[in-house]
Amino acid sequence: MLYPLKFRPRLKPRIWGGSTLIAQKGKGLRIDRSRQYGESWDLSGIRGDLSVVTNGMLKGNNIEELIEVYMGDLVGEKIFERFGVVFPLLFKTLDAQDTLSIQVHPDDELAAERHNSYGKSEMWYITNCSEGAELYIGFKRPVSREEFIDAVVTNRLPELLNRYEVKRGDVYFIPSGTIHTIGKGIELIEIQQASDITYRVYDWDRVDSEGRPRELHTALAIDAIDFESEDEYVLTKAPEVNSSVELIKRDHFNTNLIAIDGEYVRDLAKFDSFAVYIAAEGDFTISTDGGSEKINAGELVLIPAELNEVTITGKGRILEVFLE
């Protein structure tokens, strides 16, 4: 029988990152601790960055190797039929000590055509932030391509975007095609499709470590951007204690938020899917017929599809992610 799986994080240097991820996730990793790290890839099926198991008899195997062997027992029969050995989601932790570039991600159709990749829709859960920290997501109103290009050239693009002042526990959904960025002073959990395709369109006149402006991808972005951009981006909800609330239900992933004080039992038998539990706030023990694992705030565990029930003990908030 399979069991709850934990994975080694992969820290990514970023010009806008800081030192928080080194303290949170860097123990035992061979990294340059003098660098700024902006992303931790906590569970990835992307080639070149495959996550490796750190616990139990499968320790040392990567996620693709596990899917090759255990197939539907690990990810779910329908998911295996749909994605094969590719794990369909990417889970990250971000530490933005400076503002990211304003950017957009292509949808599935455009990403497949250009990059032989999936598109990227994503959601964010704010775990920590400075007072007054902001996100930019989507246009305030529909704009034309010509107006967008003029705003980029004249450094007015931020003026066209919605601004959201954030607080801990806020949740946002960013569909593919939505222009966006994360402001400085924000730490968050990111749940997304398994894609690393990003088109930067505005970078605040920033230069890299060698004094050069970073590459922009405005021409590529034009065909990817939703210029209407009128979706509802804010998903923040507050569940009752020892209950679950649905944050989002999409083809790409479903996410629930569970508030726990004591013990919470979850029946997974009706889902033909793996489940990932992320400790958003607090520490937890995740128990199944296949074994138990502890996760601290910011850590995650993958529950294989063949396990039909999970018992979660602890106090705080935990994110539950699966596919249908």
Q: What is the rounded end-to-end Cα distance, in angstroms, of the chain? A: 23
Neighbour count for residue 249 (Cβ, 10 Å)? 10
Catalytic residue among 200, 206, 212, 250: 200
Q: Are 322 and 34 in contact (CB under 8 A)?
A: no
| 154-163: burial string, b at 16+ Cβ within 10 Å, e else | eeebeebbbe
Q: Can you tell me which residue has the tokens 């931790």?
A: 40
Sequence-ordered list of residues with C-beta below 8 angstroms from that of 119, at least 6 positions apart, any chain? 105, 106, 107, 108, 109, 110, 111, 112, 176, 193, 195, 197
Question: Would you call 10 a catalytic residue per the annotation?
Answer: no
What is the signed CA dihedral for 124, 126, 131, 134, rounded to 10 degrees?
0
Both tokens of 224, joined, read 């990817």
Closest CA to 258 of 315, 214, 318, 302: 318
3-state helix, strand and coil shares in percent for the chain, rounded to the nearest 5 = 15, 40, 45
Beta bridge partners of 247: none
Q: Are 280 and 127 in contact (CB under 8 A)?
A: yes
Residues serving a catalytic function are: 200
